[in-house]
């Protein structure tokens, strides 16, 4: 049903401004349907072309989305309120954050004596040393990088890629369950998230084909350490996904290999394996420090040019002070040893909790990364039950679109002995709160 708000105006600009005022003032709420083009044109005494032009302007600006026969509706705001994690209660062990163990993070030492810049770095935005190191980083894992560029973190990079490739109302295939910030980002850009089921080997080929057949113009996925499920591509799954993508050559494939160096899984990237349009973004926050807001991007030439063209119009470049800090860490032997220790520790801690849960009849997923995903019947009952035992885990709701309930447990700093105790408490909570465990 179309909203009863009285849209006014005699020109396309006036009509679009009327709608936008109503959206800003709350008279038109996210999801509210706008009148059909011809109906509104008749009421306002203007041509259907004038209303269509107004709606087009609103779509381009991300105010509304058009969904075929579903009509035109006000774009849904990002679900920040719904997906923002609740405050961690006092006196409990926080296993909900998804953060690395500080014990395995190096001390950040910025370069000394940074000379003043004459003008700007727009003409040379990337330090040659870090560009070379980044190329080697990608190529070592089978990504055929010929050139790299930088961004201010993975979300910054993905937002720029999507904004230059897609328009409000377009569809994006996303992992379900998936990284909650990416799910929010897709909505914030006025795009429609099409959920694709995942398992221990990542994206489901059949579900991906369904999403692409339905019109999705881009795919967002993680080749390993998928957050929150932990899935990682096998060689066979990679090939199955590439076979699906071969039928949709215009689709942009974006891989977020955010956990590359501490994932505990081999690399089987989609990037460069067949899709004409591809991108892989990598960050260092999980293994070098969360305050290093830097990402490296390898992609096809067209995607790189579009990304950099937009970046030149906005932030211009990533701080060279930051770039030099990252480059020093890349080449520091002690830091590399620390990263290897982190990967080994996370593998042991994942397995310790996962196996302890399995021994108690509880199914969980922990193929790679630093989280364990545990399907449950009632997320709230499990979260609150574990809280009473001194544990704080993440309810799966903020990671899910259509997938079943679960909880996510970050094991980065959960020692094996603590994992055994958590598994026992988990089993006790399930016995108290669920008559039948549906894991």
Q: How many helices (H) and strands (E) does the chain have?
A: 14, 15
Portions of the chain given CATH number 3.90.1150.10? 93-102+335-437
pLDDT tens digit string along 118-144? 888 888 899 999 999 999 999 999 999
Distance of CA 241 to the CA centre of its chain: 19
d(CA 280, CA 224) in angstroms, rounded, equals: 12
Q: Where in the chain is the domain with CATH 1.10.10.10?
A: 23-74
Nearest-10 crossing angle of helices 320-330, 128-139: 50
Measured between alpha carbons, how far is residue 156 from residues 32, 256, 314 in Å? Answer: 29, 12, 11
Right CATH number for 93-102+335-437 from 2.40.50.140, 3.90.1150.10, 3.20.20.70, 3.40.50.980?
3.90.1150.10
Give me the CATH code for the 124-331 domain, please.
3.40.640.10
Q: What is the CA radius of gyration of the chain?
A: 24
In the chain, CATH 3.40.640.10 covers 124-331
Q: Report DSSP state, residue 412.
A: T
Specify the CATH class of 23-74 in words: mainly alpha
Give tens-digit pLDDT for 219-229: 999 999 999 99
Report whether pLDDT(24) > 80. Answer: no
User: pLDDT averaged over the chain?
Assistant: 92
First to last CA, the chain: 40
Dump pLDDT digits (tens) for 56-78.
888 877 788 887 677 898 887 54
0.85 surpassed by pTM: no
Exposed (0-12), middle (13-18) or buried (19+): which is 136, by Cβ within 10 Å? exposed
Report the 10 Å Cβ neighbour count for 19: 26
For 409, the enclosing helix (H) or strand (E) is: strand 406-410
Lowest mean pLDDT among 18-22, 25-29, 261-265: 25-29
Contact 391, 353 (CB under 8 A): no
Q: pLDDT by residue (tens digit) across 345-381?
A: 999 999 999 999 999 999 999 999 999 999 999 999 9
Q: Are the beta carbons of 143 and 272 closer than 8 angstroms?
A: yes
- Backbone φ and ψ for 148, nearest 5 degrees, come out as -130, 160
Six-digit token string for 316 = 């211009």
Rounded Cα gap, residues 21 and 426, in angstroms: 50
If pLDDT is split at 50, 70 and 90, which confidence band does 435 have? very low
Q: Which helix H or strand E contains 323, and what residues bound it?
A: helix 320-330
Q: Where is 172: in which H helix or E strand?
A: strand 171-176
């Amino acid at each position: 049903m179309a909203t009863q708000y009285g849209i006014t105006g005699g020109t396309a600009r006036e009509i679009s401004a009327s709608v936008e005022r109503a959206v800003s003032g709350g008279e038109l709420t996210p999801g509210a349907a706008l009148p059909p083009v011809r109906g509104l044109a008749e009421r306002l005494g203007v041509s259907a072309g004038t209303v269509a032009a107004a709606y087009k302007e609103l779509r381009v600006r991300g105010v509304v989305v058009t969904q075929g026969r579903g009509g035109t509706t006000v774009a849904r705001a990002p679900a920040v309120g719904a997906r923002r994690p609740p405050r961690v209660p006092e006196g409990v062990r926080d296993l909900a954050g998804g953060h690395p163990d500080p014990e395995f993070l190096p001390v950040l030492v910025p370069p000394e004596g940074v000379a003043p810049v004459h003008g700007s770095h727009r003409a040379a935005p990337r330090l040659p040393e870090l560009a070379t190191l980044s190329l080697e980083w990608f190529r070592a894992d089978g990504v055929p990088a010929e050139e790299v560029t930088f961004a201010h973190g993975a979300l910054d990079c993905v937002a720029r890629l999507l904004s230059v490739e897609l328009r409000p109302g377009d569809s994006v295939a996303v992992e379900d369950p998936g990284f909650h910030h990416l799910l929010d980002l897709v909505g914030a850009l006025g795009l429609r998230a099409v959920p694709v089921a995942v398992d221990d080997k990542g994206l489901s080929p059949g579900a991906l084909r369904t999403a692409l057949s339905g019109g999705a113009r881009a795919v967002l996925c993680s080749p390993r350490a998928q957050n929150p499920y932990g899935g990682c591509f096998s060689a066979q799954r990679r090939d199955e996904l590439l076979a699906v993508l071969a039928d949709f050559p215009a689709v942009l494939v974006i891989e977020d290999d955010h956990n590359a160096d501490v994932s505990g899984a081999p690399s089987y990237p989609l990037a460069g394996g067949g899709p004409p349009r591809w991108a892989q973004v990598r960050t260092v926050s999980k293994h070098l420090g969360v305050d290093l807001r830097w990402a490296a991007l390898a992609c096809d030439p067209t995607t790189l040019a579009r990304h950099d063209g937009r970046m030149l119009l906005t932030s211009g470049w990533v701080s060279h002070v930051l770039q030099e800090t990252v480059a020093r860490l890349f080449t520091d032997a002690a830091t590399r040893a620390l990263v290897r220790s982190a990967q080994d520790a996370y593998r042991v801690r994942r397995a310790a909790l996962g196996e302890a849960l399995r021994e108690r009849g509880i199914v969980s997923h922990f193929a790679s990364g630093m989280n364990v995903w545990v399907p449950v019947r009632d997320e709230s009952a499990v979260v609150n039950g574990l809280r009473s035992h001194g544990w704080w885990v993440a309810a799966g709701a903020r990671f899910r679109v259509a997938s079943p309930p679960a909880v996510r447990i970050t094991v980065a700093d959960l020692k094996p002995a603590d994992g055994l105790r958590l598994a026992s408490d988990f089993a006790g909570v399930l016995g108290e709160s669920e008559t039948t465990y549906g894991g």
